[in-house]
Amino acid sequence: MPGVPKIPATYAQWSACLDLLSEGTQDDACLDCMRQGTLAWSGGVATLFAQRLADEFNLRLTRCSDHLTRDLRQGADESLVVRAILNARQALAFLHRVAQTAAFPETLRAHLTDEVRKFAQRSQQSLEDTAKSDRSGRLLVLLRNNPLVRYDVAIVPAYAAAASVPQPRPLSAAAAVSPTGVRRRNILT
């Protein structure tokens, strides 16, 4: 496993940092180094670097979408749905922080930030459109109460988030278990 990257100042050092970032094993260390780095934005270097960074963003957004889809397919209760959304928000928050790196020119920062925002909005809309087929309406309420677009809010550490997630409950309200453990039927008239 490669060591912690140097604070990048040359294109070669930035390239090594992006290589390590694409591995995904030391994201926080890479972000810290990138935030301290500098780069002379000459014509050729800026184009190459911007393209490599945009490719990494696209790869990460695709991976985020794939993980969210997979996690939501597995989740049949509220806590798993919320956990899937929190995981996706964490991935988007990291990309948002990378996009805000001061060494990048303003146009690149604006473009990358806009890409993350658009992805979150499209994904949230898609999730809500899909949830409209849930007759109980609980999934739609859950998605609106835990929006994917709130990725820029401070992310709660995973151990704290797990403690605050409600106990699993089925999304279907047809049959539920009371707190005493006795099964009860909900009859809607």
Q: Which amino acid is at 52?
A: R
Lowest mean pLDDT among 47-56, 65-74, 173-182: 173-182
The model's pTM is 0.76
How far is 63 from 184, CA to CA, in rounded Å? 41
pLDDT tens digits along 141-158: 988 998 999 987 744 444
CB atoms within 10 A of CB 19: 14
> How distant is the alpha carbon of residue 118 from its chain centre?
13
How far is 14 from 8, CA to CA, in rounded Å? 5
- The domain segmentation of the chain, as residue ranges, is 1-39, 51-166
Q: Is the dihedral of CA 76, 169, 62, 37 positive or negative?
A: negative
Q: What is the mean pLDDT of residues 113-127?
A: 95
